Structure 1
């Protein structure tokens, strides 16, 4: 749960420090500008708030790793993705996006800190403990932080500890470790299809290459 707070705070801080011009830059999400990604983060924060107040007495069906499923590589044509783009454009000014993310995002962060880690909650027809639910979002925040800065070389990167945890989770999802010498950031970018491996990296992957990309949804 501490990593949830660390990754979420770092991501919101990175957004808050972006100059207005960067909101029109592409992000690491196919078909989305930075402003579209920030709009998506607002909806994510709302989902966290909703889930944390949706308790259940049912037995858990997922944990922080099995929460994630492998989906098809996004094309940017999904109706929900298109809705995000229209909604982001409606904000008109980056400052409004920043304000809304800070408002809802801060609330989600406080709710996470106050939540009972053993409480069971329901989301997407899954049942998880709060600890596992928030643990799953370490992956979400870390990957989207990388998406945010994909074309912004001066923006701060995710915290080292959250990159490490996201890598650990991705290796469990893959059922195999990535080359030990690879930095966590490269593992996440290549493993999730955000960057194409070089020929040398492809050779190091060996049989693991047949499982990639691991597009999470």
Structure 2
């Protein structure tokens, strides 16, 4: 059974609140340093969190006959839009400037207010987001995945523990596994949630994922297939 939309939105809020609570630990010196995302400073990565959430504020409901993209196809558009994403992130970071965290809070609250309105139409309602039409449910899933993945990115600049909520991590791992199973035709299970999320989002290599037991076959006798040609999903 799919996770109910109210549960997904609650987990998105939990992950946001946890991540946001830890950003106060970043001082100006750390914000100016290169982040774990190549080409971005830590401040730019933080600004990107606001940009990621702002998708709710900018998406528009679509007629009922519009066919939504599957989650895996929607997120595939990130690679094609990488230059635009980077330019938009850097521009937003420059706009937020010294008011980075207060302005980030404003973006997030506007996003959650808009999300509350969008969810009234149900999980299967279609909206036009940055990469194409997608259901509200899948759009929420993409935001959970993004905040979890960037939580691991920011963990290198923050004192322990890692700013990733356990419930959001579980949902992100399962959503990415479902996407892999659909594109590969395999029937795999998550072994280590963190390692699988990092592999699916290009943070670690497939050999590293295998070493960490990120995935496992449904039946041990089947052995683990090499799915490296499908990775990263994002």
User: Where does the alignment leave 5 or more consecutive residues of structure 1 unmatched?
Assistant: none
How much does 1:164 deviate? 0.8
Q: In the TM superposition, what whole-angstrom CA distance separates every residue of 1:63-102 from its partner, at most 9, and x where no partner exists?
A: 555532276599x8x3652453355256543xx1111101
Q: In the TM superposition, what whole-angstrom CA distance separates every residue of 1:81-138 from its partner, at most 9, and x where no partner exists?
A: 2453355256543xx1111101111121222234315243212463333233223211
Counting only pairs closer than 5 Å after superposition, residues 60-209 of structure 1 correspond to structure 2 as 60-64=67-71, 66-69=73-76, 72=79, 78=83, 80-82=85-87, 84-85=89-90, 87-89=92-94, 91-93=96-98, 96-115=99-118, 116-118=120-122, 119-124=125-130, 126-154=132-160, 156-175=162-181, 176=186, 180-182=190-192, 184-196=193-205, 197-198=207-208, 201=211, 206-209=224-227
Query: Structure 1 residues 202, 70: CA separation in 2 closer, same or farther (over 3 Å shift)?
Result: farther
Query: Structure 1 residues 154, 35: CA separation in 2 closer, same or farther (over 3 Å shift)?
Result: same
Task: Report the TM-score when normalising by structure 2.
Answer: 0.72
CA contact (8 A) 2:35 2:41 kept: yes
User: Where does the alignment leave 5 or more consecutive residues of structure 2 unmatched?
Assistant: 1-8, 216-223
CA contact (8 A) 1:192 1:212 kept: no
Query: Structure 1 residues 16, 199: CA separation in 2 closer, same or farther (over 3 Å shift)?
Result: closer
Choose from 33, 46, 49 the match for 1:41.
Answer: 49
How much does 1:209 deviate? 4.3
Say how many residue pairs are matched.
209
Q: Give the structure with the larger helix fraction.
A: 2
Separation in 2, partners of 1:199, 1:109: 34
- The aligned residue for residue 15 of structure 1 is 23
Task: Report the TM-score when normalising by structure 1.
Answer: 0.77
Q: Secondary structure at the match of 1:208?
A: coil
